């Protein structure tokens, strides 16, 4: 039987590299002597999946730091839940239409029942019930949101998706240390977005974390992903052109003011002052 090829993750996943699939394949072809691909920030496993399709004989390590496999394993359960929700909604509500209160409650009760007997994939549910782009990761987060009829009609399936791929779950630094001296190792490096955008991730990434990742690239084969939002390339260009003799903020007084935009988005305004 022919193996299915996925050009996007089989379940909704924010930050998956589906737009890069074509270019990623081209990039992979530049590493014909690779002995192992180490997907340090595996996410949905899409890059691992593609690496395995391109190089079936080469070892591929998928770092499933946020337990995406648990979501894959629970696809049958998620499909049943979504089928029930489709039945509740029936044909009465137009596509994308907002669900009325009684239906909202009926769906929440059904979700609660699943919560009491095992795993609930809130991210996938979000894709089928919440306004486009919104994500919830728990019952508490989803219960106060408005629901819309965006329920997917077809069942989800991930047959063969991670076949032949080795899954681990480690901090990327530990995994890197295990493979850094392996000849022919190629690192796939797609770190989380900077802290302002980490809504659906269970972590909080700051600039220093981002810069730490860059240290592991030196002298190693890699395929690295970033975006202009992080301005990391601009920052590194600047630092390699310019050097500070000392830290201009040394000895400065610092005052802070916390700003909350919404549940996911908070930041701190900072004032620094110094008299010489």
Nearer to ligand SAM, 88 or 222 (CB): 222
β-pairing verdict for 166-168 and 59-63: parallel
* Residues in touch with ligand SAM (CB under 6 A): 9, 13, 15-17, 41, 43-44, 46-47, 63, 65-66, 171-172, 190-192, 201, 203
Cβ 186 to ligand SAM shortest distance, Å: 14
Instruction: Assess contact for 194 and 203: CB atoms under 8 A.
Output: no
Give the residue from 116, 135, 129, 46 showing the smallest Cα distance to 77.
116
Chain-centroid distance, C-alpha 13: 6
Shortest Cβ 45–ligand SAM spacing (Å): 7
Quick one: 46 or 103, whose CB is closer to ligand SAM?
Answer: 46
Minimum CB separation from ligand SAM for residue 143, in Å?
Answer: 24
Least distance (Å) between residue 110 CB and ligand SAM: 28
Please report the DSSP string for 56-125 in residue order.
TTSEEEEE-TT-HHHHHHTHHHHHHHHHHHHHHHTTTS-TTPBPPHHHHHHHHHHHHHHHHHS---HHHH
DSSP for 23-71 reads HHHHHHTT-TT-SEEEETT-TTSHHHHHHHHH-TTSEEEEE-TT-HHHH
Q: Which residues contact 86 (CB under 8 A, 6 or more apart)?
A: 151, 153
User: Residue 90 CB, nearest distance to ligand SAM (Å)?
Assistant: 34
CB closer to ligand SAM, 54 vs 84 = 54
Q: Which is nearer to ligand SAM, 148 or 176 (CB)?
A: 176
User: Residue 53: which region, alpha, beta or left (left: phi > 0; alpha: psi -120 to 50)?
Assistant: alpha
Pick from 96, 106, 108, 109: nearest CA to 152: 96
Q: How far is the CB of 44 from ligand SAM (least distance, A)?
A: 3
Residue number of the CB closest to ligand SAM reads 43
> Which lies closer to ligand SAM via its Cβ, residue 89 or residue 158?
158
Which lies closer to ligand SAM via its Cβ, residue 204 or residue 249?
204
Between 45 and 89, whose beta carbon lies closer to ligand SAM? Answer: 45
142 within 8 A of 111, measured Cβ to Cβ? yes
CB of 176 to ligand SAM, least distance (A): 9
For residue 17, the minimal CB distance to ligand SAM (Å) is 4
CA distance 74 to 187: 29
Q: Which is nearer to ligand SAM, 114 or 190 (CB)?
A: 190
């Amino acid at each position: 039987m022919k193996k299915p090829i996925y050009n996007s993750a089989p379940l909704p996943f924010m930050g998956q590299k589906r737009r890069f699939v074509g270019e990623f394949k081209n990039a992979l072809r530049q590493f014909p002597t690779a002995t192992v691909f180490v997907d340090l920030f595996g996410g949905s496993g899409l890059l691992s999946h593609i690496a395995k399709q391109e190089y079936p004989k080469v070892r591929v390590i998928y770092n499933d730091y946020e337990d995406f496999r648990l979501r894959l394993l629970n696809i049958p359960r998620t499909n049943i839940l979504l089928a029930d929700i489709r039945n509740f909604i029936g044909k009465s509500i137009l596509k994308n239409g907002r669900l009325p209160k009684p239906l909202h409650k009926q769906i929440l009760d059904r979700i609660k029942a699943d919560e009491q007997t095992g795993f609930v994939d809130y991210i996938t549910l979000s894709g089928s019930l919440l306004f486009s782009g919104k994500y919830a990761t728990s019952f508490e987060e989803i219960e106060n949101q408005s629901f819309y009829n965006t329920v997917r009609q077809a069942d989800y399936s991930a047959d063969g998706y991670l076949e032949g791929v080795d899954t681990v779950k480690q901090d990327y630094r530990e995994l890197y240390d295990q493979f850094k001296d392996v000849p022919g190792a190629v690192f796939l490096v797609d770190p989380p977005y900077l802290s302002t955008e980490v809504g659906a991730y269970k972590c909080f990434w700051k600039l220093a974390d981002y810069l730490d990742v860059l240290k592991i690239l030196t002298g190693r084969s890699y395929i690295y992903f970033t975006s202009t939002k992080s301005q990391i390339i601009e920052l590194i260009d600047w630092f390699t052109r310019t050097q500070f003799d000392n830290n201009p903020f040394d000895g400065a007084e610092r005052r802070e003011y916390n700003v909350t935009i919404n549940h996911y988005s908070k930041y701190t305004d900072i004032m620094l002052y110094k008299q010489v």
